[in-house]
Structure formats: C-alpha cells, structure tokens
C-alpha cells in the first residue's frame, strides 16, 4: 500500500475540490400554478393533479 509522503496543503486540497460545490437549483415560477419549480423539470404540484 502506498504511503503518503507529505501532507496536502490547504490550497491543493481546495483546488481538488473546486467542482464540489453547494447545489442551488434554479427555481422558476411554474406558469400553470405559480409555484416555484426547478427549471426544465416537471412541476411536482402540477404532476399531482
Ligand atoms: Zn405547477
């Protein structure tokens, strides 16, 4: 098993994790019911009825 030779610096670690970010879904107002829904997704409120 490989043994780590040196500690990863804060900068290197953060650079590796640049693609890991908080997902904030784009919410748009549903044209039929006015509820907030995710863009390009079926509105769960409209789907229910
Ligand atoms: Zn809707």
pLDDT, one tens digit per residue, over 2-48 is 999 999 999 999 999 998 888 888 899 999 999 999 999 999 989 87
**Cα 27 to averaged position of ligand 1 atoms, centre (Å):** 12
**Cα 30 to averaged position of ligand 1 atoms, centre (Å):** 5
Comparing CA positions, the residue from 32, 1, 16 lying closest to residue 44 is 32
**Cα 14 to averaged position of ligand 1 atoms, centre (Å):** 39
CA–CA dist 36, 42 (Å, integer): 11
Cα within 13 Å of Cα(35), Cβ side: 11
* 3-class state of residue 37 by DSSP: strand
Strand partners, 29: 36
**Cα 22 to averaged position of ligand 1 atoms, centre (Å):** 25
pTM, full prediction: 0.45
Contact 29, 43 (CB under 8 A): no
């Amino acid at each position: 098993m490989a043994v780590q030779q040196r500690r990863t610096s804060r900068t290197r670690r953060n650079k590796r994790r640049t693609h890991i970010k908080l997902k904030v879904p784009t919410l748009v107002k549903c044209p039929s019911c006015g509820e907030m829904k995710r863009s390009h997704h079926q509105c769960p409120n409209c789907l229910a009825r």
